[in-house]
Amino acid sequence: MSLITTTSELAHACARFSRHPFVTVDTEFLRETTFWPKVCVIQIASDDEAVAVDALADGLDLGPFFALMADPAVVKVFHAARQDLEIVWNLAKMIPAPLFDTQVAAMVCGFGDQVSYGELAQSLCRVAIDKSSRFTDWTRRPLSDAQIAYALADVTHLRDIYRSLLAKLETTGRTDWLADEMESLSAPATYEQHPDNAWERFRHRARKPRDLAVLMEIAAWREREAQSKDVPRSRVLKDDVMIEVALAAPRSADALANLRAFPRGMERSRSGADILAAVERGLARDPATLPKIERERRSGGSTGATVELLKVLLRQVSERHGVAAKMIATVDDLEAIASDDRAEVAALRGWRREIFGAKALELKRGKLALTVERGRVVTLEWQDTPGEQAEVA
């Protein structure tokens, strides 16, 4: 098995990889006990070879690997790249480029939402991926031959998957569609963890400005604590407890202790004092400076029926064009479109507007109808002449 444990070996391997038009890349990492993912093994493959890099080896400098990731002449191929890219960003503050994500490409090519590597290997390469080491502890040393073989399988079959998907994209003229998605994956903002933005994951839990203000402060405090201590957020304060504190806005240690879910004794600790201070900062915020609270559109109302029709249209467009529905529009996109013809959503821009967004607006305006013919949904476009319509499928 090809296992790299020294900087010299890594530098020579990366020099060889740099002579190829593309390399496939994957990582094995753990983050169950940390905030930041801990990379344990890095796998790289070209047409000539595949290597596993022991990222925990004493004295190993990953500099040659980062240089390869930045080489503009070599396409970096990942499957479900986001977590791998987050690792590279955290370690080197750079994003591999040019980039190709086979999971995203598969969605563009009609393989469904978030298709797995194993499914693509079976479908495109006719091979079954060995899952026996899937839940292994990648921090333990030495690595076994079985572990290394499992890790390398994640990049060897990826070569053929990449070629197959690239050919499909070129045949269908959808390479630009994938490029749009890679822009988002390649943006540093995708991986930056700003404490002041931590509240956004819970934006729909706040119903009043006061709730939102306190939530923003407590979420930011928790995020800073988790990052500085490199522990999971739940080790600092669990989500449900954080929400309970934000909604109750306790102003004393006794009030904290009276919250049903709050950890016993924590109210008298430094963390308890920090939480109370965060509550006070939230209560002191000027409501006029707070983000606008978005009422949940899913509760129904005047747009409920429109959203349901847009879902049917989305499915019809997805099936017709062979693109995963999730790639075209999300439920939030549909709700936004139902409420506003000029909604700032991806579904109303670029190629998504061409195949779906424009039709969605026509459906809202009564210029497009949905019907069923021979068991499939089709669209009918109403013409200017009364009583005439044409099927546009």
CA separation for the pair 104, 284 (Å, rounded): 44
DSSP class of 347: G
SS3 250: coil
The predicted structure's pLDDT at residue 166: 97
Question: Does 96 lie in the same domain as 233?
Answer: no
382 confidence band (pLDDT: 50, 70, 90)? low
Q: Which of 264, 289, 314 is the last residue of a domain?
A: 289
SS3 77: strand
245 lies in a domain? yes
Region 273-288 average pLDDT: 96
Strands 99-101 and 368-373: unpaired
Region 341-355 average pLDDT: 93
Question: Does 356 lie in the same domain as 258?
Answer: no
Question: Does 264 lie in the same domain as 144?
Answer: no
The predicted structure's pLDDT at residue 160: 97
SS (H, E, C) 27-65: EEEECCCCCCCEEEEEEEECCCCEEEEECCCCCCCCHHH
% of residues, the chain, pLDDT over 70? 94
pLDDT at 350 > cutoff 60: yes
Q: What is the CA radius of gyration of the chain?
A: 25
CA separation for the pair 350, 358 (Å, rounded): 10
Question: Does 158 lie in the same domain as 9?
Answer: yes
Q: Which of 138, 169, 190 is the last residue of a domain?
A: 190
- What tokens appear for 139 in the block? 């921090």
Region 42-56 average pLDDT: 97
Question: Does 331 lie in the same domain as 183?
Answer: no
Question: Does 310 lie in the same domain as 277?
Answer: no
Question: Does 153 lie in the same domain as 66?
Answer: yes
156 lies in a domain? yes
294 lies in a domain? no
The predicted structure's pLDDT at residue 295: 57
Contact at 8 Å (CB) between 323 and 232?
no
The predicted structure's pLDDT at residue 392: 53
Distances (CA, A) of 168 to 45, 51, 159, 171, 270: 22, 28, 15, 5, 57
Q: Sign of dihedral through CA atoms 88, 93, 97, 101? A: positive
CA separation for the pair 52, 109 (Å, rounded): 30
Question: Does 235 lie in the same domain as 175?
Answer: no
Contacts of 1 by beta carbon, 8 Å cutoff, 6+ apart: 52, 145, 148, 149, 152
CATH code, domain carrying 16: 3.30.420.10
119 confidence band (pLDDT: 50, 70, 90)? very high
% of residues, the chain, pLDDT over 90? 78
Question: Does 39 lie in the same domain as 160?
Answer: yes
1 confidence band (pLDDT: 50, 70, 90)? low
Burial profile 197-226: b = 16 or more Cβ within 10 angstroms, e = fewer = ebbeebeeebeebbbbbbbbbbbbbbbbbb
Per-residue pLDDT tens digits for 149-169:
999 999 999 999 999 999 999
Contact at 8 Å (CB) between 33 and 233?
no
62 lies in a domain? yes
- What tokens appear for 304 in the block? 């409920």
Bridge partners of 372, per DSSP, are 377
Minimum mean pLDDT range among 149-153, 214-218, 281-285, 366-370:
366-370
CA separation for the pair 296, 273 (Å, rounded): 33
DSSP characters over 111-128: S-TT--HHHHIIIII--P
| Domain region containing 113 | 3-190
Tally of CA atoms within 13 A in the half-sphere of 366 that contains its CB: 1
The predicted structure's pLDDT at residue 44: 98
CATH code, domain carrying 271: 1.10.150.80
Cα 89 from chain centroid (whole Å):
15
pLDDT at 348 > cutoff 90: yes
Q: Which of 230, 257, 289 is the last residue of a domain?
A: 289
247 lies in a domain? yes
351 lies in a domain? yes
Tally of CA atoms within 13 A in the half-sphere of 333 that contains its CB: 20
Question: Does 167 lie in the same domain as 27?
Answer: yes
CA separation for the pair 276, 252 (Å, rounded): 7
74 lies in a domain? yes
DSSP class of 318: H
Question: Does 139 lie in the same domain as 233?
Answer: no
**Closest C-alpha among 27, 35, 15 to residue 233:** 35
CATH code, domain carrying 322: 1.10.150
pLDDT at 72 > cutoff 60: yes
Question: Does 77 lie in the same domain as 162?
Answer: yes
Q: How many domains does the chain have?
A: 3
330 lies in a domain? yes
Burial class of residue 300 in the structure, from the number of CB atoms within 10 Å of its CB (0-12 exposed, 13-18 middle, 19+ buried): exposed
Per-residue pLDDT tens digits for 162-210:
999 999 999 999 999 998 889 889 999 999 989 999 999 998 888 899 9
The per-residue pLDDT of the chain, averaged, comes to 91
SS (H, E, C) 151-176: HHHHHHHHHHHHHHHHHHHHHHCCHH
CA separation for the pair 139, 81 (Å, rounded): 21
Length of the chain: 393
